[in-house]
Amino acid sequence: MPDDQHHAAVDSGVEIPALADGEVWAVGAVILNQHGRAFAQKRSPDRRLFPDCWDIVGGHVEPGESLLDALAREVAEETGWRLCRVRRLLGVATWTGDDGNGTRHEADYLVEVEGDLDHPALEWSKHTAYDWFGPDDLSRLKENRAPGEYLIHDLIAKALQDRTGRL
């Protein structure tokens, strides 16, 4: 992605983890709409990782790419929106996928985007649906996940709690 497309504002104090050689990283973006609801998309049932599960916008950091570059690229690729502000780091997780590709590190951020939030340009080959989630329907984010695999639910719950001060 050209440099002029990723210059999102980064709020003061937002941590950007350092990437070490040999580590595999992913990024995730929790996007809230004007009503304080969080965007999630449902992965298609034929995906190798987390098939038929709700997910936030995000993906793997490409070689030579920074976390912020990857975040901007993934937002654009998966929704057609433009990353304009990184509000806070929601957390860094380490996990192992069921695809045989080993351990990954993931940095997940609460972000703001520009674009038509009512009409995301989903990658329909990778996702089958999208929705906006508020405190009352967070349990749907646990669909097709085993106990202990509630990262997406927990990230969105944290972002909503930060936004409203309650859940």
Q: How far apart are CA 70 and CA 76, in angstroms?
A: 10
101-124 confidence digits (pLDDT tens)? 778 999 999 999 999 999 999 999
For the entire predicted model, the pTM comes to 0.89
Which residue bears the tokens 């674009």? 115
What residues make up the domain containing 142?
3-11+24-164
Q: How many domains does the chain fold into?
A: 1
User: For residue 17, is it within any domain?
Assistant: no
17-43 confidence digits (pLDDT tens)? 999 888 999 999 999 999 999 999 999
Secondary structure of residue 141 in the 3-state scheme: helix
pLDDT the model gives residue 1: 39
User: For residue 16, is it within any domain?
Assistant: no
- Give the domain CATH number at 34: 3.90.79.10
User: For residue 59, is it within any domain?
Assistant: yes
pLDDT the model gives residue 12: 96
Six token digits for residue 113? 């985007």
User: For residue 89, is it within any domain?
Assistant: yes
User: For residue 18, is it within any domain?
Assistant: no
